[in-house]
Structure 1
Amino acid sequence: MMMRVLLICVASCLLVVNGEDIINRCTLAKLLYEEDLDGYEGYTLPDWLCLAFVESNFNISKVNENVDGSFDYGIFQINSHYWCKDYHSHSENFCHLDCQELLDPHLLPSIQCAKKIVSMSGGMRNWAEWKLHCSGRPLSYWLTGCRLS
């Protein structure tokens, strides 16, 4: 009994220290599939998974400050200068949402905004990390072991 209590305490401390909301790769693949992202604007599910990995390491709650004073939010690291309102810097707010919504664990605001970004000029090339690490590379391994249905 004492060992069980100790284990729970240690696990709780690790969760608090870590503070990250990491989504499982296959769980994300299934969600993206259900939201019709496979083939959206010519990009495959592996493209979307690679994007989420290189931008946030599947961390739903990641926020990163940029040198220009803008912030990147969520699993796709969507920038506050153009896509959402964060009340810290000027924003075009093309996705018409509060940046905090991009940290929603259900991911629907992030997915909708990412779809808007991809449908504009440049597609996934709007993400520098995707260009560097995903574009033009074989990516099918991102779905290895995942069941989509």
Structure 2
Amino acid sequence: MGALGLVTLLACLSAGGWGKIFSRCELAQTLQDSGMDGYEGYSLANWVCLAFYESGFDTAAVGANADGSSDYGIFQINSGWWCQDDRTPSENLCHVHCQDLLNPDIKDDINCAKRVVQDPLGMEAWDDWKKRCEKQDLTEWIEGCDL
């Protein structure tokens, strides 16, 4: 993404102020209510850990990749495969526009994350999950939450 494109995107996001940073327990509750605990064999704590390391629980997070694709939303869904951003050729396997993953309503993010983990890589599709969450004691991610 060019510098002007990045500045424009950041200006739109901050001017609109329509992103949301979830608290750990608020996200855990939302994910549990959406059937994520145990989905495809991954505990709720795995999902919370993933969201923290991918986006800091920020629905408006956008990350740029060396291949020209971008990652969007609380789960950092990639524009090269999972969503369409009008800049990157995409398979758009979640059938969603990437911008729709940046608002406080994370239903579409959750549906897309469910689609991602149905593929053979599962959560290994996310490098941060592999590095920071896989094979770790994740109890702290949901500890103290009233679930």
Same fold by TM (over 0.5)? yes
Shift of 1:106: 1.4
Q: TM-score, normalised by structure 2?
A: 0.86
Distance, in Å, in 1 between the alignment partners of 2:18 and 2:108 is 21
3-state SS in 2 of match to 1:91 = coil
Distance, in Å, in 2 between the alignment partners of 1:45 and 1:96 is 25
Residue number in structure 2 paired with 1:9: none
Residue number in structure 2 paired with 1:8: none
What letter is aligned with 2:135? Answer: G
What letter is aligned with 1:83? Answer: W
The alignment's C-alpha RMSD in Å is 1.6
Residue number in structure 1 paired with 2:4: none
Residue number in structure 1 paired with 2:49: 50
Shift of 1:20: 6.0
Q: TM-score, normalised by structure 1?
A: 0.85
Structure 1 runs not aligned, ≥5 long: 1-14
What are the superposed Cα offsets for residues 37-64 of structure 1, whole Å, 9 maximum, x if unpaired?
Answer: 1000000000000000010111110011
Shift of 1:21: 2.7
Shift of 1:65: 1.1
Residue number in structure 2 paired with 1:128: 127
Identity, % of aligned positions:
48
Shift of 1:104: 2.3
Residue number in structure 2 paired with 1:25: 24
Residue number in structure 1 paired with 2:140: 141
Residue number in structure 2 paired with 1:109: 108
Residue number in structure 1 paired with 2:35: 36
Distance, in Å, in 1 between the alignment partners of 2:143 and 2:135 is 19
Distance, in Å, in 1 between the alignment partners of 2:18 and 2:101 is 16
Q: Give the paired residue count.
A: 133
